[in-house]
């Protein structure tokens, strides 16, 4: 039985080989020819971010700041240029503070050819954010994705008006997040990218491959030497820019809370040794004399382990929570001192310090 089965299989294979030899056209149908790499690329089309640019670019505007001439107060002259981003259909535009800081008049030019004089709603020197508003209908709005979180390696596009050449798009990736070393007060966390950001790009949009707003372009890194530096540019994260914008719209300025302490994160090992069951802690390095923390009884070397309902897991989160608190509000702060937990009531003060933003 087995011998009969093997003979049938062998005869079938021989017959198939004879048919393929007699009719060669069957070979290409049965065994497809391998596709060349170039042919595969041509079939799929070139890689392009055209759709992302088409979604985002109409909402990126050119900004011209004008000043009165010193010798003739009746004449205005253009003294600066930059970019801005239309973020909603009410005509609100986010740009950089340093783009409009000394302007007597701000002119906004849309990509569809329309031009308007903009009203300055407010500005925040510390974050280098300013909010403008124009009165127009059918405004293009930048796509926003509240669920997007910038990650190292993400592809990004910088859109703006460099050197007043007209709208330009540059390409790169996110090189780092949370960069605070170039911030004047060391607190603002920038997105670092290698997409080119030149003079005039300030205030423009940094978008992802879907055309969604990632950040507001603000500066390119330049060393204090004769050496040119390439591939190191910075943007203000979209979530921070939106938060600052909402504060400015609500109050006309950014109201920040503060308690007057300087601290730093402690390691998880030190935290377990000193702070007990808490998973995070901030060691207090200094207390501002007469400040809210000083009045509440917080001392240097205390370990802050909880503020309100939030565990003090890292310094940045603690600063953000305090900054967002309204001055005059009272918050319960738990500290560990000499191995003992102490609960103190701190009245939030208002931070009125001024900081000069880094310019490109």
Active-site hit among 98, 175, 220, 233:
98
Q: Which of 174, 244, 159, 138 is nearest to 204 (CA)?
A: 159
The yes-or-no answer on residue 98 being catalytic is yes
The yes-or-no answer on residue 128 being catalytic is yes
Active-site hit among 124, 128, 183, 233:
128
Can you give the pLDDT at residue 269? 60
Can you give the pLDDT at residue 276? 58
Can you give the pLDDT at residue 68? 83
SS (H, E, C) 146-207: CCCCCCCCCEEEEEECHHHCCCEEEEEEEEEEEECCCCCCCCCCEEEECCCCCCCCCCCEEE
The CATH number of domain 53-133 is 1.10.15.40: no
Active-site hit among 65, 202, 220, 233:
202
Name the residue ranges covered by the structural domains of the chain: 53-133, 155-251, 257-350
pTM value > 0.85: no
Can you give the pLDDT at residue 326? 87
The yes-or-no answer on residue 74 being catalytic is no
Which of the four CATH numbers 2.40.10.10, 3.40.50.1370, 3.40.50.300, 3.40.630.30 does domain 155-251 have? 2.40.10.10
Instruction: For the chain, 360 residues long, give each residue's pLDDT as a single digit of tens.
Output: 556 555 666 656 655 565 555 555 555 555 555 555 556 555 566 888 999 999 999 999 999 988 887 776 666 777 778 999 999 999 999 999 999 988 889 999 999 999 999 999 999 988 899 999 999 999 999 999 989 999 999 999 999 998 888 899 999 999 998 876 554 454 568 899 999 888 888 999 999 999 999 999 987 655 444 555 567 889 999 999 999 999 999 988 888 888 988 888 776 666 566 555 666 788 888 899 999 999 999 999 888 888 888 888 777 778 888 888 889 999 999 888 888 888 999 999 988 776 544 444
Can you give the pLDDT at residue 28? 52
Same fold, 53-133 and 257-350: no
Element (H, E) at 16: helix 2-22
CATH number of 257-350: 2.30.42.10
List the structure tokens of 99: 């783009």
């Amino acid at each position: 039985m087995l011998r009969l089965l093997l003979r049938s299989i062998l005869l079938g294979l021989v017959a198939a080989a004879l048919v393929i030899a007699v009719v060669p056209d069957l070979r290409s149908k049965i065994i497809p020819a391998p596709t060349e790499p170039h042919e595969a690329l041509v079939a799929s089309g070139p890689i392009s971010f055209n759709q992302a640019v088409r979604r985002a670019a109409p909402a990126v505007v050119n900004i011209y700041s004008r000043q009165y001439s010193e010798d003739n107060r009746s004449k205005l002259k253009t003294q600066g240029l930059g970019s801005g981003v239309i973020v909603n259909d009410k005509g609100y535009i986010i740009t950089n503070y340093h783009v409009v800081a000394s302007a007597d008049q701000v002119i906004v030019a849309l990509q569809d050819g329309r031009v308007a004089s903009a009203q300055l709603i407010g500005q925040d020197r510390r974050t280098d954010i300013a909010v403008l508003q124009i009165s127009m209908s059918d405004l293009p709005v930048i796509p926003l994705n509240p669920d997007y979180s910038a990650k190292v390696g993400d592809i990004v596009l910088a859109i703006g008006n460099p050197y007043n050449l007209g709208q330009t798009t540059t390409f790169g990736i996110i090189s780092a997040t949370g960069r605070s070393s170039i911030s004047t007060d060391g607190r603002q966390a920038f997105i670092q990218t290698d997409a080119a950001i030149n003079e005039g790009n300030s205030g423009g949009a940094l978008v992802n491959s879907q055309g969604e707003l990632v950040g507001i372009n603000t500066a390119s890194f330049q060393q204090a030497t004769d050496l040119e530096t390439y591939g190191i540019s910075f943007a203000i994260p979209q979530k921070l820019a939106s938060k600052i914008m909402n504060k400015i719209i609500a109050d006309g300025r950014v109201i920040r809370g503060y308690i007057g302490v300087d601290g730093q994160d402690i390691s998880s090992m030190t935290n377990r040794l000193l702070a007990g069951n808490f998973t995070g802690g901030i060691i207090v390095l200094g207390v501002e004399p007469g400040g809210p923390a000083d009045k509440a009884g917080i001392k240097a070397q205390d370990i802050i382990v909880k503020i309100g309902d939030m565990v003090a897991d890292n310094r940045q989160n603690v600063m953000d929570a305090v900054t967002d608190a309204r001055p005059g509000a009272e918050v319960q702060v738990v500290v560990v001192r000499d191995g003992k937990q102490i609960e103190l009531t701190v009245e939030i003060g208002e931070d009125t310090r001024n900081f000069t933003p880094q310019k490109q």
